Amino acid sequence: MEKKVDGIISALEERYPDALCALHYKKDYELMIAVRLSAQCTDARVNLVTPALFAAYPTLEAMANANIADVENYIHSCGFYRQKAKDIVLACQMLIEKHGGKVPGTMEELLKLPGVGRKTANLLLGDLYNVPGSVVCDTHCIRICGRLGLSKGKEPEKVEKQLRAILPPEKSGDFCHRIVLFGREICTARSPKCAECPLALFCQEINKG
């Protein structure tokens, strides 16, 4: 398995040298907000919405003091906007009240923030703090790692645990970003481009026949 994982990581690094988060942000709390908005929504849509939102509330304090109904208007097109708006404002309030205005750097503290689950927490730990072993289990990751035979099942926490056991900790965060890029370009949910797949050699689905 180690040889297979190394081969997959190398192929992804070659195709996607810049393993950047697709969400646009300048401040740590802006990434927290963007990830919350991305639930059941595309990163592209979030990136269309956040410029106006961040311009309307340019500081953490402004966001924490925002009227939730007003925030709803800015993020309406992201879906589930009522719950997301509430989570965003309450989470910003908690950052000020309990964390000195900074996004905390531990899984335990992050999971106490409104609207923050393990996927969001892992992304924040990896992107803001470069914490080794941060595995972001989104739909792309679960689908593709299953097809590659790196994981089994579709429960995010179980897949995360399986991937933590086999991915080099220092490369796990970038691996997850690259998997998202790969999932959008090649290994799509409905019509994967298997004929041009750089990971075909390692794919359980392609080679099972």
CB 39 within 8 A of CB 33: no
Mark whether 18 is an active-site residue.
no
Catalytic residue among 84, 87, 119, 171: 119
Cβ contacts of 145 within 8 Å, gap of 6 or more: 151, 159, 162, 163, 179
Angle made by CA atoms 68, 71, 75, in degrees to the nearest 5? 135
Tokens 């790969």 correspond to what residue? 182
Q: Is 171 a catalytic residue?
A: no
Q: Which of 102, 110, 103, 100 is nearest to 136 (CA)?
A: 110
Q: How far, in whole angstroms, is CA 100 from its chain's centroid? A: 24
* Total count of residues recorded for the chain: 209
Query: Which sequence positions are flagged as catalytic?
Result: 119, 138
